[in-house]
């Protein structure tokens, strides 16, 4: 029988919450993880939503996870298995041309040369730019963010200040314009500056978003993405196993409805069935708004703090399509199945103008008529995910604003799913007849299912005004909160959203420091 008293309780069994719990237990604390759903992992999960087909239901690639967590929690011994793939990216164009981004940079340069000899040479300078940025920013992610003045002071040479200017104030397009002349080449690299974020390729600050997605090195090579054996749930399951070996109690189907506060201190949580679990530490993997406004309540905070929380930008813009397929898409640009075009991520977004126009629709509350797509076929690299001869397809689509100018998401869900498939069909005409079953998850569905505010996969935007010492709100970027003993350990904390694990790790270190325990 589960004890009602713990040293620490973690609200939410997403990957960050699991990381926090494991490190706290590693230091000797009695820890419980409380997950509302019947499955752990949050957005990093694998589920059998159609008989025989297991899909990475929301997050779809492994690229940003902190390597030290893999080592220290022995995740590989607990089942984590990285599946590398090559090419990294396949982008077809309407005129029948295409580009592969290979793991071999020289090979990629040859692909780029088909569009511009200038850009083929500039590609190596572009890679060096992000290598330097990673060298500067990488260490800053594994600790509470420095004050803005101190952060700016890290860029103490003219060259470094130029990097800072691009990072904080430029758009993704402006950065790409510095290196490339071909619009097709720019279109290949621009989407990583847009993923999951309500910004366009020409929006100032989208350059920072681009950096957020390309400086990760969880696969062993900066900027390269990978898959996991068994889907993204392979990561969450490995962390959970490690945590349980360390003594963590993990409860699913357990919803926290209130964080208990006594004398301005966190005292535990109350569950939906009325049961109370006491603890001297509460770590919330929920988003900041849910944590402060719903689970606690405004009356426990100063007015200015609550106003800053309410101002957090968290507009979701993603629709996720998961499908069971009787055959793979047959791309007009590169016919045949299976092929290298099915191994990595397929990007649909043939020009920067196309991407910007997709964003323009969403700015006015309209679903994109021609959306940006990131398509994956996980069963090609991991056949165990589908029955023999069959495949899975995952489509991450933008832009689809949570707040619609007209209609409701429940009314237009099927229509949007069809429009996304129509867009992909322009490049692979057999797609429609290949689909056996399909699931369409709207921003509203992501909020209902995964407790993502307005469907925002990062809990809040990862634009510069909400990163570093501004995340979640100015003055509270060190995982601590105005309530003593209450900490944020999710994507709403530094260094931000995605499958990083770093917010959970950093939060655990803050907790252990406050408890004066060894790390």
DSSP-derived secondary structure letter, 271: E
In this prediction, residue 291 carries a pLDDT of 98
Domain borders along the chain are 5-44+64-81+232-312+461-514, 86-214, 318-399+401-441
Superfamily of domain 5-44+64-81+232-312+461-514: FAD/NAD(P)-binding domain (3.50.50.60)
Mean pLDDT confidence for 68-81: 96
Tokens 């357990």, located at residue? 254
Mean pLDDT confidence for 491-519: 92
Chain center to CA of 3: 34
| Higher pLDDT among residues 481 and 168, named by residue | 481
Distances (CA, A) of 383 to 20, 180, 228, 380, 409: 32, 38, 12, 6, 33
In this structure, the number of other CB atoms found within 10 A of the CB of residue 310 comes to 12
In this prediction, residue 217 carries a pLDDT of 63
The pLDDT tens digits for 326-373 are: 999 999 999 999 999 999 999 999 999 999 999 999 999 999 999 999
In this prediction, residue 223 carries a pLDDT of 63
User: Is pLDDT of 139 > 70?
Assistant: no
Mean pLDDT confidence for 61-69: 91
Q: What is the CA radius of gyration of the chain?
A: 22
User: Is pLDDT of 101 > 70?
Assistant: yes
Which contiguous run of DSSP H or E holds residue 414? helix 409-425
Pairing status of strand 345-348 against strand 89-92: parallel
Mean pLDDT confidence for 399-403: 97
Distances (CA, A) of 377 to 319, 440, 506: 17, 16, 33
In this prediction, residue 469 carries a pLDDT of 93
Q: Which of 251, 313, 235, 264 is nearest to 76 (CA)?
A: 235
| Residue 447, burial from CB neighbour count under 10 angstroms (0-12, 13-18, 19+) | middle
In this prediction, residue 424 carries a pLDDT of 98
User: Is pLDDT of 216 > 70?
Assistant: no
Distance between first and last Cα of the chain: 29
User: Is pLDDT of 435 > 50?
Assistant: yes
User: Is pLDDT of 451 > 80?
Assistant: yes
Q: Which CATH number, 3.30.519, 3.20.14, 3.40.190, 3.40.1130, labels domain 318-399+401-441?
A: 3.30.519
- 518 Cβ contact list (under 8 Å, min separation 6): 27, 512
Instruction: Report yes or no: 400 and 320 within 8 Å, Cβ to Cβ.
Output: no
Tokens of 470: 């501004």
User: Is pLDDT of 1 > 50?
Assistant: no
Task: Tell me what the pLDDT averaged over the chain comes to.
Answer: 94
The pLDDT tens digits for 272-331 are: 999 999 999 999 999 999 999 999 999 999 999 999 999 999 999 999 999 999 999 999
Give the pLDDT band (50/70/90) at residue 236. Answer: very high
Tokens of 60: 């779809």
Q: Which of 139, 487, 483 is nearest to 283 (CA)?
A: 487
Give the pLDDT band (50/70/90) at residue 462. Answer: very high
Chain center to CA of 35: 19
Which contiguous run of DSSP H or E holds residue 356? helix 352-363
């Amino acid at each position: 029988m589960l004890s009602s008293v713990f040293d620490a309780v973690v609200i939410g069994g997403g990957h960050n919450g699991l990381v926090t719990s494991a490190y706290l237990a590693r230091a000797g604390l009695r820890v419980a993880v409380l997950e509302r759903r019947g499955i752990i992992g949050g957005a990093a999960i694998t589920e059998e939503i159609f008989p025989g087909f297991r899909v990475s239901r929301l997050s779809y690639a492994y690229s940003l996870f902190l390597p030290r967590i893999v080592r220290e929690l022995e995740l590989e011994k607990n089942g984590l298995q990285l599946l590398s793939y090559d090419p990294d990216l396949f982008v077809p164009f309407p005129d029948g041309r295409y580009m592969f981004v290979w793991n071999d940079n020289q090979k990629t340069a040859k692909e780029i040369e088909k569009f511009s000899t200038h850009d083929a040479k500039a590609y190596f300078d572009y890679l060096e730019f992000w290598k330097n940025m990673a060298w500067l920013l990488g260490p800053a992610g594994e600790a509470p963010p420095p004050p803005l003045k101190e952060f700016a002071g890290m860029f103490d040479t003219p060259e470094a200040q130029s990097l800072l200017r691009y990072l904080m104030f430029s758009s993704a397009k402006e950065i790409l314009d510095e290196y490339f002349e071909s619009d097709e080449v720019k279109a290949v690299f621009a989407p990583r500056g847009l993923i999951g974020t309500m910004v366009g390729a020409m929006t100032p600050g989208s350059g920072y978003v681009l950096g957020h997605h390309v400086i990760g090195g969880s696969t062993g090579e900066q900027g390269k993405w990978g898959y996991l054996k068994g889907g993204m749930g392979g990561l969450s399951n490995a962390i959970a196993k490690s945590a349980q070996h360390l003594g963590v109690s993990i409860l699913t189907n357990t919803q926290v409805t209130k964080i208990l506060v006594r004398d301005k201190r966190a005292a535990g949580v109350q569950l939906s069935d009325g049961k109370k679990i006491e603890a001297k530490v509460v770590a919330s993997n929920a988003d900041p708004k849910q944590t402060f406004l719903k689970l606690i309540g405004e009356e426990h905070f100063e007015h200015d703090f609550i106003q800053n929380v309410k101002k957090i930008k968290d507009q979701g813009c993603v629709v996720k399509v998961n499908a069971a397929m009787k055959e793979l898409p047959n791309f007009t640009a590169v016919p045949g199945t299976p092929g290298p075009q099915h191994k990595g991520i397929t990007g649909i977004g043939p020009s920067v103008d196309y991407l910007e126009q997709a964003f323009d629709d969403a700015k006015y509350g309209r679903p994109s008529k021609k959306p940006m797509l990131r398509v994956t076929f996980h069963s090609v690299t991991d056949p165990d995910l589908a029955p023999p001869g069959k495949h899975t397809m995952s489509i991450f689509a933008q832009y689809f604003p949570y707040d619609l100018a007209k209609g409701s998401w429940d009314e237009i869900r099927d229509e949007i799913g069809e429009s996304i498939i129509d867009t992909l069909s322009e490049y692979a005409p057999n797609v429609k007849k290949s689909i056996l079953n399909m699931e369409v998850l709207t921003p509203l569905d992501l909020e209902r299912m995964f407790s993502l505010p307005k469907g925002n996969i990062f809990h809040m935007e990862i634009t510069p005004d909400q990163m570093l010492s501004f995340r979640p709100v100015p003055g509270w970027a060190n995982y601590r909160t105005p309530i003593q003993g209450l900490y944020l350990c999710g994507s709403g904390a530094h260094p931000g959203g995605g499958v990083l694990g770093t917010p959970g790790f950093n939060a655990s270190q803050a907790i252990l420091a406050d408890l004066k325990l060894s790390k």
